[in-house]
């Protein structure tokens, strides 16, 4: 390092700095592996609590210095507001862990999660204080934030955080040096190429990302058992095809669709009459432009008739099969 500084032409007082490298570098190569079961529970819990925030605890284990495995979660009975949730109930937590031990769920608490419905993944001042209370019990505790509103099929808006403690900031300063920090200073280095780059928003930076807390890479690696479970999640049973609704309900829906078809027929007749009158005054392109953004009665009429015929045919066939099977 001293040789590089001399070659670059820096002043001599810079080259006389301590050349020894700091061996105890803090790193961000840690990865949080969240199971499919835990992810489903977090999303369902967060969606059920909209528009309020909800929170819960994560169960798992610290595999090594760079791996946190989350296998399950359970909800906490805390009520929330738009930006924060209440503190953790220790009595409920103790009872829940005791009941989980009875069903061979002996994993320990590795962190907590809460939802931010509709406004992204970041930690507020209350969330940072809650995370520091978890880190007082375990230095590697993780805070996971999930957004059930912005999450769509195939893309989950989720992120994991951990606070930047002063003990981590002290590493890297020579003895006797003045410890000064700037808002844009990078307090931790990246020592791994695993994971992928997550582009954080300016809102997250304004709420302290990179200064008060930092992000941890999240990975989802389902096991073969979890893959089989997910494949059977919405799988239809063969008996569901033989189930049919009550005849009164089907008759009511048929009556509603018939009334809708009568309205569509009137609209379609009116549209055909207007086209005949405007044929001489407007061009074909102008007529097509006037239809943009308006209801197409012909297409809607075809869809409604096709839907009603299909539903009635399936209902009658299922009724005949059931009648012959139980004679």
Say whether pLDDT at 44 is over 50.
yes
**Stretch 9-18: mean pLDDT, rounded?**
44
Q: What is the mean pLDDT of the chain?
A: 79
Band (144; pLDDT cuts 50, 70, 90): very high
Q: Quote the pTM value.
A: 0.60
**Stretch 193-204: mean pLDDT, rounded?**
73
CATH of 2-231, one of 3.40.640.10, 3.40.140.10, 2.60.40.10, 3.65.10.10: 3.40.140.10
Domain ranges of the chain: 2-231, 239-325
Contact 59, 159 (CB under 8 A): no
**Residue 73 backbone zone (phi > 0: left; psi -120 to 50: alpha; other: beta):** beta
Q: Which residue has the higher pLDDT, 257 or 3?
A: 257
Tell me how far apart the alpha carbons of residues 236 and 45 are, in angstroms, rounded to a whole number. Answer: 24
Q: How many CB atoms lie within 10 A of CB 112?
A: 23
- Identify which of 32, 85, 34 has the alpha carbon closest to the alpha carbon of residue 55: 85
What the block records as the tokens of 85 is 């949730």
Q: Which of 91-100, 176-185, 193-202, 229-238 has the highest mean pLDDT?
A: 91-100
Give the 3-state secondary structure of residue 107.
coil
> Which of 12-16, 97-101, 205-209, 257-261 is predicted with the least confidence, judged by mean pLDDT?
12-16
- Cα end-to-end distance, the chain, whole Å: 92
What the block records as the tokens of 302 is 């075809």
- Identify which of 105, 104, 216, 206 has the alpha carbon closest to the alpha carbon of residue 160: 216
Contact 127, 104 (CB under 8 A): no
Band (13; pLDDT cuts 50, 70, 90): very low
Band (174; pLDDT cuts 50, 70, 90): very low
Say whether pLDDT at 24 is over 60.
no
- Identify which of 31, 35, 39 has the alpha carbon closest to the alpha carbon of residue 64: 31
Say whether pLDDT at 202 is over 80.
yes
| Close Cβ partners of 114 (under 8 Å, ≥ 6 residues apart) | 53, 54, 55, 56, 80, 85, 127, 143, 144, 145, 146
pLDDT digits (tens, 9 = 90+) for 206-229: 888 888 898 888 988 788 888 887
Band (80; pLDDT cuts 50, 70, 90): low
Torsion of CA 171, 173, 178, 182, to 10 degrees: -70
What the block records as the tokens of 63 is 């595999």
Q: What pLDDT sits at residue 209?
A: 86
Contact 78, 55 (CB under 8 A): yes
**Stretch 99-118: mean pLDDT, rounded?**
88
pLDDT digits (tens, 9 = 90+) for 237-295: 777 777 778 889 999 999 999 999 999 999 999 888 888 887 777 787 887 777 777 88
Band (86; pLDDT cuts 50, 70, 90): low
Q: What pLDDT sits at residue 165?
A: 67
Name the maximum alpha-carbon separation found in the chain: 102
């Amino acid at each position: 390092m001293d040789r590089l500084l001399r070659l670059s032409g820096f002043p001599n007082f810079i080259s006389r700095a301590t050349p020894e490298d700091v061996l105890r570098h803090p790193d961000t190569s840690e990865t949080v592996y969240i199971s499919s079961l835990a992810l489903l529970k977090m999303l369902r819990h967060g969606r059920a609590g909209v528009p309020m925030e909800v929170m819960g605890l994560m169960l798992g284990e610290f595999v090594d210095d760079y791996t946190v495995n989350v296998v399950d979660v359970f909800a906490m009975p805390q009520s929330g507001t738009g930006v924060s949730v209440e503190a953790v109930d220790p009595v409920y937590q103790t009872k829940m862990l005791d009941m989980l031990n009875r069903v061979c769920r002996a994993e320990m608490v590795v962190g907590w999660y809460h939802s931010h419905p509709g406004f992204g993944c970041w930690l507020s001042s209350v969330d940072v204080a809650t995370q520091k209370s978890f880190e007082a019990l375990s230095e590697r505790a993780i805070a996971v934030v999930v957004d059930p509103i912005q999450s769509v099929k195939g893309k989950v808006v989720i992120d994991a955080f951990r606070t930047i403690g002063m003990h981590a900031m002290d590493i890297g300063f020579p003895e006797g040096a003045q410890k000064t920090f700037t808002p844009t200073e990078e307090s931790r280095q990246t020592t791994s190429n695993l994971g992928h780059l997550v582009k954080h928003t300016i809102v997250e930076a304004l709420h302290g990302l990179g200064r008060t807390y930092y992000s941890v890479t999240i990975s989802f690696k389902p096991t073969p058992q979890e893959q089989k479970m997910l494949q059977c999640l919405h799988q239809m049973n063969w008996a569901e095809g033989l189930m049919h609704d009550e005849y009164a309900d089907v008759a009511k829906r048929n009556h509603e669709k018939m009334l809708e078809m009568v309205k569509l027929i009137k609209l379609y007749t009116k549209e055909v009459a207007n086209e005949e009158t405007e044929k001489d005054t407007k061009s074909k392109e102008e007529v097509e432009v006037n239809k943009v953004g308006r209801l197409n009665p012909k297409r809607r009429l075809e869809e409604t008739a096709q839907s009603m015929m299909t539903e009635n045919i399936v209902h009658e066939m299922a009724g005949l099969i059931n009648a012959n099977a139980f004679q």
